[in-house]
Amino acid sequence: MNQYLRLFDFKQKVDYKIEVLAGLTVALALIPEAVAFSMIAGLPPLVGLYAAFVMGLITAIFGGRPGMISGATGAVAVVIVALAKSHGIEYVLATVVLAGTIQILVGLLRLGKLIRLVPHPVMFGFVNGLAIIIFMSQLDQFKADVNGEVVWLSGQPLMMMLGLVALTIAIMVFLPKLTKAVPASLVAIIVVFLLVIGLGLETKTVGDIASIKGGFPPFHLPAVPFNFETLKIIFPYAAIMAGVGLIESLLTLNLIDEITETRGRGNKECVAQGAANMLSGLFSGMGGCAMIGQSLINISAGARARLSGMVAAVMLLVFIMFGAPLIEKVPMAALTGVMIMVAVGTFEWISFRMIGKMPKQDIFVGVLVAAVTVLLHNLALAVLIGVVISALVFAWESAKRIRARKYIDEKGAKHYEIYGPLFFGSITAFNEKFDVLHDPQEVVIDFRESRVADMSGIEALNKLTERYKKAGKTLHLKHLSSDCRKLLQNAEDLIEVNILEDPTYHVVTDQLK
């Protein structure tokens, strides 16, 4: 019984009214996003809506981060659009199932913790870039299709749209100062909806994008040949989709962790995302991952438990099956205003104040990640680039830290006391410390304050012992770990062993397990 209580978070104090209202707000915000992303992927609108329902429900119940919302996303849509055009929807559904399988394996292998390798500047860039994307995507609502040509609104339609968006934003800004009994975003949507219906105002509605009417998601095995040729087609897309989905989901999880000052479970979220994608593909959905915009709407509305996500998914299905005629009348201006406020709340404004305080390389990484996110709309690539550059910067800075304190003792032996890590990046600086030709006959290199980190460092020591040996000089290597002593090929009897003082660490090498 306790296991089930932990699963549904019944042990924590839940404000049921807030959870239900937040879930209802999220459900309304999910509709235009799911429709838009399915159209980006070249799929029918219901494919995106079904994905939002299945993804949202499964991850809300079993996910590693209560309060986080999952559904059809643009990141996934961009990955599968080429496959949808070349092979059709059946191959897309098969890809979604395979991507879910990969994500489950990642979770079971406990690889979700690798998200800890993402540096803070990369997180800043990711969040800021995503905020800009959310804001820019709302600008499409200020455009209209005129005789097959997309043009900006002007005149009375533009003023109407701007006025309703401004009203939505005003309610979201000022209502929380009066009361937090109900989510301001939901109140804003309802007020604008009633205003448009009551006054008969002409403005763009959800129904102008696409019809959302449908039934319960049908169970459907992807109609593709189950052979190696099919696997060759879908595996590259599935692998990319799995990676993109997990990166976006785990980064969103970290962001919600920071906001709520709690800690989610990354590996559990990976398994939940995988299971949700598998079921999404089997129930005619395009798959997806965590949605940062809707998650922030949910959290800002006060939701902290799993109930809000479950309500959002169920209400979305209710809208699809029974409430389509009403929901299709919801003004897009209200949803646009909500998403603009989400973008404003998502952006890390503190990053501007930190420009003069952060290292220049961190500022560069943050700006670069944000730029790649905005320009390419590829969150996984942006994060990967940021992590690689951060790693290279760290390696460069670490390489410059290696130092050598030199002195000659009373017996005439020259001592080199090494400080800093010896690895592939610091080898050149390490070799420059030694004067093999002019050193005395007895040389001691002390690694008490150093660490040999990889095989490149071991090979550098091997070559150094060869140089001293050819010069006919005696070299002693002190305070090396047992790994180093084992891997040094040319040391022979040159290593001084002191079990009590020698460090114990593992060198990064394929020879060690």
For residue 52, what pLDDT is reported?
96
For residue 126, which of 261, 296, 247 has the smallest C-alpha distance? 247
Position 493 pLDDT exceeds 70: no
Query: Kind and range of the H or E element at 406?
Result: strand 403-408
With cut-offs at 50, 70 and 90, classify the pLDDT of residue 86. very high
Position 4 pLDDT exceeds 70: no
For residue 8, what pLDDT is reported?
43
Q: How far apart are CA 37 and CA 77, in angstroms?
A: 6
For residue 324, what pLDDT is reported?
92
Query: Kind and range of the H or E element at 443?
Result: strand 442-452
For residue 134, which of 343, 379, 375 has the smallest C-alpha distance? 343
Contact 307, 1 (CB under 8 A): no
Which amino acid appears at position 126 of this protein?
Answer: F
- 303-341: per-residue pLDDT in tens? 989 999 999 999 999 999 999 999 999 899 998 888 888
Position 435 pLDDT exceeds 70: yes
- 364-380: per-residue pLDDT in tens? 998 998 898 888 777 77
For residue 469, what pLDDT is reported?
87
Q: What is the mean pLDDT of residues 404-411?
A: 92
For residue 247, which of 43, 76, 412 has the smallest C-alpha distance? 76
Phi, psi of 304 (to 5 degrees): -135, -10
Q: What angle do CA 63, 302, 253 make, to 5 degrees?
A: 35
Higher pLDDT, 46 or 12: 46
For residue 490, what pLDDT is reported?
62
Contact 134, 343 (CB under 8 A): yes
Higher pLDDT, 279 or 356: 279
With cut-offs at 50, 70 and 90, classify the pLDDT of residue 12. low
| C-alpha 365 chain-centroid distance | 16
Q: What is the mean pLDDT of residues 28-50?
A: 87
Position 357 pLDDT exceeds 90: no
- 262-271: per-residue pLDDT in tens? 889 999 999 9
Q: How far apart are CA 359 and CA 357, in angstroms?
A: 7
User: Which CATH superfamily includes the segment(s) 400-496?
Assistant: STAS domain (3.30.750.24)
The domain segmentation of the chain, as residue ranges, is 15-389, 400-496
For residue 404, what pLDDT is reported?
93
Ramachandran class of 498: left when φ > 0, alpha when ψ lies in -120 to 50, beta otherwise? beta
Which residues on adjacent β-strands are paired with residue 145? 150
Q: What is the mean pLDDT of residues 436-464?
A: 90
With cut-offs at 50, 70 and 90, classify the pLDDT of residue 498. low
Query: Kind and range of the H or E element at 504?
Result: none
> Among 185-189, 353-357, 389-393, 478-482, where is mean pLDDT lowest?
353-357
- 130-175: per-residue pLDDT in tens? 788 878 888 888 988 777 788 898 999 999 999 999 999 999 999 9
Look up tokens 């932990």; give the residue. 6
Look up tokens 């070299």; give the residue. 475
Higher pLDDT, 484 or 385: 385
For residue 7, what pLDDT is reported?
40
Position 284 pLDDT exceeds 50: yes
Phi, psi of 114 (to 5 degrees): -65, -15
Position 403 pLDDT exceeds 50: yes
For residue 5, what pLDDT is reported?
37
For residue 11, what pLDDT is reported?
47
Token code pair at residue 219: 């169970």
Strands 414-422 and 442-452 come out as: parallel
Higher pLDDT, 409 or 78: 409
- Mean pLDDT of the chain, nearest integer: 87
- 97-138: per-residue pLDDT in tens? 999 999 999 999 998 877 777 888 888 887 788 788 878 888
Which residues on adjacent β-strands are paired with residue 450? 420
